[in-house]
Structure 1
Amino acid sequence: MVHAADRTSARRESRAKLAMMARYVAFLRGINLGAKRRVPMEELRRVLEEAGYDDVRTLAQSGNVVLSSGATAAALERDLATTLQDAFGLGIGVVVRSHAELADVVARDPIGSHADDPARYQVSFLSAEPEPARVRELERADVAPERVAVLGREVYAWHPNGVGRSELAKLITDRRLGVEVTARNWRTVTKLLELASQADE
């Protein structure tokens, strides 16, 4: 029989353990876009928990994971990619941001005053900062009424006519920027920040 005091102690130990770890958001690239790259979220959570990650949560089906880890962001990207390859047999690119970094992404919001539809306002998370010449080329592109701003490892893009018909979206790619790119709309970004801010319950 488990007593209330034991449950309270276990909860305190769990919270103390998490307090020593960093909270991260991992963006998985290119999953659940076709029949051969299916990754069920329930199975993904199980795999990551068994790999030793704590307080694992997912959002939607597009590869958004919130978890706690004592690793650095760079090490976490490598470790997650290896874990996913072993578990699902897929080469899945992973881009990671810490909770604090994601909070900064939302706080900066350089073109949010022009974006009145969060589904058409996207943030592309990059694996590294692109070369300055590539950034200049993107920012000088004639894509009005679309708007773009590059801040470090993020590209903010407003697609008023939708992403599917966007000329700007064609420029925010691995090939154009020379780094790995994965995009999420503003609604997803803010929901992930909210999820990352929640304490383990």
Structure 2
Amino acid sequence: MKKIAILRGINVGGKRKILMADLKALFEKTGLENIKTYIQSGNIIFNSNSNNFELEKILENSIRERFGFNVPVIVRNSDELQNSITHNPFYNKNADINKLHLTFLKEKPSKEYLDEIQSFNYEPDNFKIDGQNVFLFIDGKYHKTKLSNTFFEKKLKVGATTRNWKTVLKLIELSKD
């Protein structure tokens, strides 16, 4: 089955640098097949029949052993990623996709934290949580919004990483091959 690994915080601002060729070689060494990388921020498409949770642990451990630092990894299968298109409340034919982002959550947050986070309002920026996805509408620049990875990690008590909607669409396209 096609899987997509989304890594958090590599190759940003010259820190935690990993060449995509080295990352691809590491994934091959762990037994994964048909590996493709997409841009330097850590998006890897591959085939595996292992479950997502197992893959996340294997890949995080392998990266730590090989590169010497911790990199959170979130894995989705191609169907889960494809479903994000139909579940995104901000995405339609008239949407400005430059304002759309998807925050991937490592696990489904507890009801308590989901209820609490609904009280936050940072309009015109907006968010909608659906399972392990946070759909974002960011009116300005993403790096200036309060709806960051750190915000969701602190409020929901789960790991998170975000991709812009263009990257999400490209990952869906690449996972169909």
State the TM-score, normalizing by the size of structure 1: 0.81
Residues 47 and 163 of structure 1: CA distance in aligned 2, closer, same or farther (over 3 Å): same
Partner-residue secondary structure (3-state), 1:57: strand
Counterpart position of 1:89? 68
- Please give the alpha-carbon distance, in whole angstroms, between the structure 1 residues aligned to 2:151 and 2:100: 13
Question: Once the 2 structures are TM-superposed, how far is the Cα of residue 171 of structure 1 from its aligned partner?
Answer: 6.8
Partner-residue secondary structure (3-state), 2:24: helix
Q: How many residues align?
A: 177
1:111 and 2:124 aligned = no
Larger radius of gyration: 1
1:184 and 2:160 aligned = no
1:73 and 2:52 aligned = yes
Residue ranges of structure 2 left out of the alignment (5+ in a row): none
Residues 114 and 134 of structure 1: CA distance in aligned 2, closer, same or farther (over 3 Å): farther
Counterpart position of 2:139? 160
- Please give the alpha-carbon distance, in whole angstroms, between the structure 1 residues aligned to 2:44 and 2:59: 11
1:145 and 2:127 aligned = no
Q: 2:90, 2:100 within 8 Å by CA — same for their partners in 1? A: no
Counterpart position of 1:120? 99
Q: Percent identity?
A: 29
Larger RCO: 1 or 2 (CA < 8 Å, sep 6+): 2
State the TM-score, normalizing by the size of structure 2: 0.91
Counterpart position of 1:17? none
4+ runs deviating over 6 angstroms: none
Residues 96 and 38 of structure 1: CA distance in aligned 2, closer, same or farther (over 3 Å): same
Question: Once the 2 structures are TM-superposed, how far is the Cα of residue 48 of structure 1 from its aligned partner?
Answer: 1.2
Render the CA deviation track for 1:162-195: whole Å, top value 9, x for unaligned: 2122233377431121000100111101100110
Corresponding letter in the other structure for 1:111: F
Question: Once the 2 structures are TM-superposed, how far is the Cα of residue 52 of structure 1 from its aligned partner?
Answer: 1.4
Residues 190 and 75 of structure 1: CA distance in aligned 2, closer, same or farther (over 3 Å): same
Counterpart position of 2:16? 37
Question: Once the 2 structures are TM-superposed, how far is the Cα of residue 139 of structure 1 from its aligned partner?
Answer: 2.8
Question: Once the 2 structures are TM-superposed, how far is the Cα of residue 115 of structure 1 from its aligned partner?
Answer: 7.6
Which stretch shows the higher mean deviation, 63-72 or 116-125? 116-125
Render the CA deviation track for 1:17-74: whole Å, top value 9, x for unaligned: xxxxx21001111111143400011111122112211000111111111111121111
- Please give the alpha-carbon distance, in whole angstroms, between the structure 2 residues aligned to 1:34 and 1:132: 35
Q: 1:25, 1:96 within 8 Å by CA — same for their partners in 2? A: yes
